[in-house]
Structure 1
Amino acid sequence: MELTMLGSEPLAGFVQAATPVGLVLVESLVLYVGYGGLSRFAGPHVKEALVRE
């Protein structure tokens, strides 16, 4: 068995596959936190504006 067959080629494929998955998970977490903060801040103001009219 050659040494090149035991190289890091499978690891490189795993990293290439895992990178977009990780980026999507981070993006979803940022959006979840961002929209949660926005709804806490703007939610009462929007409800108040809708009730007045």
Structure 2
Amino acid sequence: MIEATALSGPVQATLLVGAIFAQAVFLYAGYGVLGRVATSLLETITGT
């Protein structure tokens, strides 16, 4: 594990922004997949 307190302020800020960005990309992709699966499932159930 990296000791975050040993790093300088700008490096800590960059790591935080990078982690938040990675989380945002992961959630965006996850919701996209979930939307496609849900749409496909609903079309299968309703038969349209």
**TM-score bin (small chain):** 0.5 to 0.7
In structure 1, list runs of 5 or more residues that go unmatched.
Answer: 44-53
For 1:10, give the aligned amino acid.
L
Distance of 2:21 and 2:42 partners within structure 1: 33
Q: After the TM superposition, which residues 1-53 of structure 1 pair with which residues of structure 2 at under 5 Å, given as runs?
A: 4-5=9-10, 7-42=12-47
The structure with the larger Rg is: 1
| Normalised TM-score (structure 2) | 0.63
The count of corresponding residues between Structure 1 and Structure 2 is: 43
| Normalised TM-score (structure 1) | 0.59
RMSD: 2.5
